[in-house]
Amino acid sequence: MKAYKVNVNGNVYEITLEIIDKAEIKNTPAPAAVPAPAAAPAAGATSISAPMPGTILKVNVANGQAVKKGDVVMVLEAMKMENEIMAPSDGTVSSVNVQAGTSVETGTVLCTLA
């Protein structure tokens, strides 16, 4: 094993890397497929995506509802913490794509504002 120091955005991390041979690589299963990114919203629309994987605890908006920048549109539980998902701008909710209890991955489109 080799030890390295890595600087990421001004934070220094110490890591160790294990050197393996080619035979070990061939016996290692392929990584799981990465989900495709969500489709782009319609022109002029703003999509609100999950910033991390988790479970939707609350949906505070409905289709056609007006929201202001900073309004909490959903609550996402991740690692036993409740994270408020806020509207990035003023708008009207044009679609709500999840409901309470839905498990989401990073990048899942939660709702769309027009």
Distances (CA, A) of 78 to 5, 47, 55, 72: 29, 20, 7, 16
Residue 6 resides in a domain? no
Residue 28 resides in a domain? no
Residue 108 resides in a domain? yes
How large is the average pLDDT for residues 77-83?
91
Domain count, the chain: 1
Q: Predicted confidence band at 21 (pLDDT cuts at 50, 70, 90)?
A: confident
Residue 13 resides in a domain? no
| CATH code for position 104 | 2.40.50.100
- The residue segments making up the domain with residue 102 are 46-113
**Does pTM surpass 0.85?**
no
pLDDT (0 to 100) of residue 2: 81
Residue 86, Cβ density class (10 Å: 0-12 exposed, 13-18 middle, ≥19 buried): middle
Residue 75 resides in a domain? yes
Mean pLDDT of the chain: 84
Residue 74 resides in a domain? yes
Does the pLDDT at position 37 exceed 60?
no
